[in-house]
Amino acid sequence: MARIVFIFDMLELGGAERQAMLLARYLRDKADAAVEIVGFSHPGVLTQICEQEGFPWHIVSSSTECSTRKFPTSVARFISGVRRLKPDVLLPYTIHPNVMCGAFWRFTGAKTCIWNQRDAHQQSSRRWLQRLAVRGTPRFIANSRSSAEFLTNVMGADPTKVEIVPNGVVLSEPKVTREEWRQRLDVSCDAIVCCMLANLTRNKDHQTLLEAWSILTNELVAGRLPVALVLAGRHDETAQELQQMARQLGIADSVHFIGAVDDVSGLLAACDIGVHSSLSEGCPNSVLEMMAQGLPVVGTDIPGIRDVLPLQSCSLLAPPRDAEALAQRLKLLIESPELRKQYGSLNLQHVQQHFTPEAMCEKTTSIIRDTLQLCKT
127 burial type by CB count under 10 A (0-12 exposed, 13-18 middle, 19+ buried): exposed
Average pLDDT of 254-267? 94
User: 34 Cβ partners below 8 Å, 6+ apart?
Assistant: 1, 2, 3, 4, 28
What is the predicted pLDDT for the residue at 345? 98
Q: To the nearest whole percent, how much of the chain has pLDDT over 90?
A: 85
Average pLDDT of 26-47? 95
Average pLDDT of 64-86? 93
Q: Are strands 273-276 and 255-259 parallel, antiparallel or unpaired?
A: unpaired
Average pLDDT of 42-64? 93
pTM summary value: 0.84
- Torsion angle, alpha carbons of 173, 178, 182, 187, to 10: 140
pLDDT greater than 80 at residue 375 = no
For 302-318, write each residue's pLDDT tens digit. Answer: 999 999 999 999 999 99
What is the predicted pLDDT for the residue at 282? 85
What is the predicted pLDDT for the residue at 332? 95
Burial 6-29, CB ≥16 within 10 A → b, else e: bbbbbbbbbbbbbbbbbbbebbbe
Q: To the nearest whole percent, how much of the chain has pLDDT over 70?
A: 98
What is the predicted pLDDT for the residue at 173? 92
pLDDT greater than 80 at residue 376 = no
What is the predicted pLDDT for the residue at 347? 98
What is the predicted pLDDT for the residue at 170? 87
219 burial type by CB count under 10 A (0-12 exposed, 13-18 middle, 19+ buried): exposed
pLDDT greater than 80 at residue 120 = no
State in Å, rounded, how far the first CA of the chain is from the last one. 18
- If phi > 0 it is left, if psi is from -120 to 50 it is alpha, else beta; for residue 54 that is left
What is the predicted pLDDT for the residue at 121? 78
Instruction: Using alpha carbons, list the distances in angstroms from residue 98 to 63, 95, 268, 367.
Output: 11, 5, 32, 17
Question: What is the 3-state secondary structure of the chain?
Answer: CCEEEEEECCECCCHHHHHHHHHHHHHHHCCCCEEEEEECCCECHHHHHHHHHCCCEEECCCCCCCCCCCHHHHHHHHHHHHHCCCCCEEEEECHHHHHHHHHHHHHHCCCEEEEEECCCCCCCCCHHHHHHHHHHCCEEEECCHHHHHHHHHHCCCCHHHEEECCCCCCCCCCCCCHHHHHHHHCCCCCCEEEEEECCCCHHHCHHHHHHHHHHHHHHCCCCCCCEEEEEECCCCCCHHHHHHHHHHHCCHHHEEEEECCCCHHHHHHCCCEEEECCCCCCCCHHHHHHHHCCCCEEEECCHHHHCCCCHHHHHHEECCCCHHHHHHHHHHHHCCHHHHHHHHHHHHHHHHHHCCHHHHHHHHHHHHHHHHHHHHC
Q: Are 241 and 163 in contact (CB under 8 A)?
A: no
Q: Are strands 317-318 and 297-300 parallel, antiparallel or unpaired?
A: parallel
What is the predicted pLDDT for the residue at 122? 83
pLDDT greater than 80 at residue 363 = yes
Backbone angles phi, psi at 79, to 5 degrees: -60, -50
For 263-298, write each residue's pLDDT tens digit. Answer: 999 999 999 999 999 998 888 999 999 999 999 999
Average model confidence (pLDDT) for the chain? 94
Choice between 325 and 18, residue whose per-residue pLDDT is larger: 325
pLDDT greater than 60 at residue 195 = yes
What is the predicted pLDDT for the residue at 374? 80
Instruction: Using alpha carbons, list the distances in angstroms from residue 43 to 37, 47, 259.
Output: 11, 6, 18
Average pLDDT of 147-157? 95
- Distance CA(156)–CA(211), nearest Å, equals 37
Q: How confident is the model at residue 219 (pLDDT cuts 50, 70, 90)?
A: confident
What is the predicted pLDDT for the residue at 203? 93
Look at 6-15, 73-82, 109-118, 346-355 and tell me which has the smallest mean pLDDT: 6-15
pLDDT greater than 70 at residue 185 = yes
| Structural domains present in the chain | 3-167+356-376 (3.40.50.2000), 178-354 (3.40.50.2000)
Q: Looking at this protein, which amino acid is placed at residue 324?
A: E
What is the predicted pLDDT for the residue at 64? 86
> Which residues share a beta bridge with 299?
276, 317
Q: How confident is the model at residue 139 (pLDDT cuts 50, 70, 90)?
A: very high
What is the predicted pLDDT for the residue at 262? 87
What's the longest Cα–Cα distance across the chain?
70
